[in-house]
Amino acid sequence: MAFVALTRNRQQPLTPLSPSMPTSMPSVQEVIPPLPITPPDPVDPQTRASEDAASVVTAIHVISTERAGLANLEHIYRTDKLAQENFGRAVTQIIKSIKNGGKLVVCGVGKSGKIGQKLEATMNSLGIYSAFLHPTEALHGDLGMIRQNDTIILISFSGRTPELQLFLPHVPPTVPIIAITAHMHPSTCPLLSYQSPDMGILLPAPIHEDEDTSFGVCAPTTSTTVALALGDALALATARRLHTQPGKGPAEVFKSFHPGGAIGAAFSVSTPTSMSTSLSTTSFTSMPPDYLQAKTVEQKTPSETEPSGQQCGQLITDIATPLHHIPTVTSTTQVRLLDILLAAIQNPNAKSWVKLSDEEIIPPHRLRSISRGSSVDVSVSDLPSPIGVGQKDWLRVSASSTVEDVRQWLSDYRRAGSEVSIVCVVDDTAPDEFLAVVEAEDVCGDCG
């Protein structure tokens, strides 16, 4: 009976008329004890410092691991002939689609999808018409985005993403597939099993060790970094082969698509004539060494120019590339055009200058011209004309020379029927000490 009575009391509603309602409520201070007047002890500075140091160690570990992943990717495309061949096929296929009125369709799921969206944006900014397609949305009506002239890029580290596997059977068999995965051979990549060998292209993007081993967590990190880099490489390689008209190259196309924001503001600044980057082929007619050496020591006297101490104009050293920034191409066998291009890419501070030796250098305009019309596997010795320019054909000028001085000298040479392609800056007091180089085209363009 006592049990029943207890139950009834618990079921009575607590209303102001209920006898079980207390006549007065306790104050907040009575229910919650006051906080102590003394604040809590501060965190030990040494503890915080050690935690910060541990965070930095983690950051360095992640950065160095992803750098190793990129080095591994570079090694693959430097040495693996199949990877090199497939990369060239991929560029050719994308260009074929664009020229035939098609587009590049990029597909991926999860983090790979985010990389795909970045690739799509980069391609579009370089004038390569692209669209991102989520494979699940494709099965719910977006398949209509795909046209016969399109090319599809699939991004999946494993190559076994279920959503892509479900999507692929519905892709028209006439649409080529480019797969960016960790697989090294097309025959092992499930994403290419739906296409005939001539319609599937594998771009390998493996990592040197799995992310669980690197970081203790399987989150996509190194794998997405590698895929991102390979996508950027594909975008720029395609843009350079697609946009070849003088004045309408990748840089000009990119500028035209960025009228707003900080990039647009930067491009709105006019470029000086002395910094023009015409893509016209430079002539490499040899000139007598004595004639070229003459301007090395030729200096105007104060009476011939401005008052003492008031030399006018930009110095030639301001637009020249220091020689110590320029790499010398190396190869265990014959030097190929590919070896030269890799040396240029890996040394951005050289601004596409490459040395064949201390006495012979390849100017950027010449390198770009050769690379557009020759196979990257061709040996330098097999090229129809010399790619490098020897020291005897360099115009040597003093470091104190102005751009206007050099422009005038180049104009004099051209009027005399001679051509100079490279201007070499030498030390004022030691004419045999070479400091920097600049292309004649970048000094004055068509001065004559």
The answer on 208 and 307 residing in a single domain is no
Between 153 and 52, the more confident residue is 153
In the block, which residue shows the tokens 């398949």? 143
Task: Answer whether residue 334 is part of any domain.
Answer: yes
365-410 pLDDT per residue, tens? 888 777 666 676 778 888 888 888 998 889 999 999 999 989 888 8
The answer on 105 and 236 residing in a single domain is yes
Q: Which of residues 218, 242, 266 is at a domain's end?
A: 242
Residue 265's pLDDT is 44
The answer on 181 and 101 residing in a single domain is yes
The answer on 230 and 101 residing in a single domain is yes
pLDDT tops 50 at residue 308: no
The answer on 313 and 188 residing in a single domain is no
Distance CA 175, CA 172 (A): 6
Residue 195's CATH number = 3.40.50.10490
Poorest-confidence range of 149-163, 201-215, 293-307, 405-419? 293-307
Non-local CB neighbours of 212 within 8 Å, separated by 6+ positions: 218
What is the count of structural domains for the chain?
Answer: 2
Distance CA 135, CA 106 (A): 10
Task: Answer whether residue 216 is part of any domain.
Answer: yes
Between 11 and 317, the more confident residue is 317
The answer on 222 and 90 residing in a single domain is yes
Residue ranges making up the domain that contains 437: 275-444
Poorest-confidence range of 71-75, 202-206, 368-372? 368-372
Task: Answer whether residue 364 is part of any domain.
Answer: yes
Per-residue pLDDT, averaged over 345-371, amounts to 85
Per-residue pLDDT, averaged over 18-35, amounts to 51
The answer on 191 and 310 residing in a single domain is no
Torsions phi, psi of 21, nearest 5? -75, 125
Q: Which of residues 242, 266, 287 is at a domain's end?
A: 242
Residue 417's pLDDT is 80
Distances (CA, A) of 11 to 18, 19, 255: 12, 13, 77
DSSP, residue by residue, 224-252: HHHHHHHHHHHHHHHHHHH--STT-SHHH
Task: Answer whether residue 310 is part of any domain.
Answer: yes
Residue 281's CATH number = 3.10.580
Per-residue pLDDT, averaged over 33-61, amounts to 74
Where does residue 406 rank: exposed (0-12), middle (13-18), buried (19+ CB within 10 A)? Answer: buried
pLDDT tops 50 at residue 296: no
pLDDT tops 60 at residue 313: yes
Task: Answer whether residue 92 is part of any domain.
Answer: yes
Poorest-confidence range of 40-44, 105-109, 420-424? 40-44
H or E element, residue 8: helix 2-11
The answer on 402 and 304 residing in a single domain is yes
Task: Answer whether residue 287 is part of any domain.
Answer: yes
- Cα four-point dihedral sign 191, 193, 195, 199: positive
Neighbours of 28 (CB within 10 A): 7
The answer on 418 and 340 residing in a single domain is yes
H or E element, residue 415: helix 403-415
pLDDT tops 50 at residue 357: yes
Between 309 and 234, the more confident residue is 234
Chain mean pLDDT for the chain:
79
The answer on 288 and 236 residing in a single domain is no
In percent, how much of the chain has pLDDT > 90?
Answer: 46
Predicted confidence band of residue 289 (pLDDT cuts 50, 70, 90): very low
Task: Answer whether residue 251 is part of any domain.
Answer: no
Asked if residues 403 and 409 have their Cβ atoms less than 8 Å apart, the reply is no
pLDDT tops 50 at residue 290: no
The answer on 286 and 235 residing in a single domain is no
pTM for the full predicted model:
0.52
Task: Answer whether residue 208 is part of any domain.
Answer: yes
Per-residue pLDDT, averaged over 311-340, amounts to 82
The answer on 320 and 215 residing in a single domain is no
pLDDT tops 90 at residue 435: yes
pLDDT tops 60 at residue 309: no
Non-local CB neighbours of 45 within 8 Å, separated by 6+ positions: none
Residue 411's pLDDT is 86
* Winning range, highest mean pLDDT, from 174-178, 284-288, 291-295, 432-436: 174-178
Neighbours of 333 (CB within 10 A): 7
175-188 pLDDT per residue, tens? 999 999 999 999 99
pLDDT tops 60 at residue 8: no
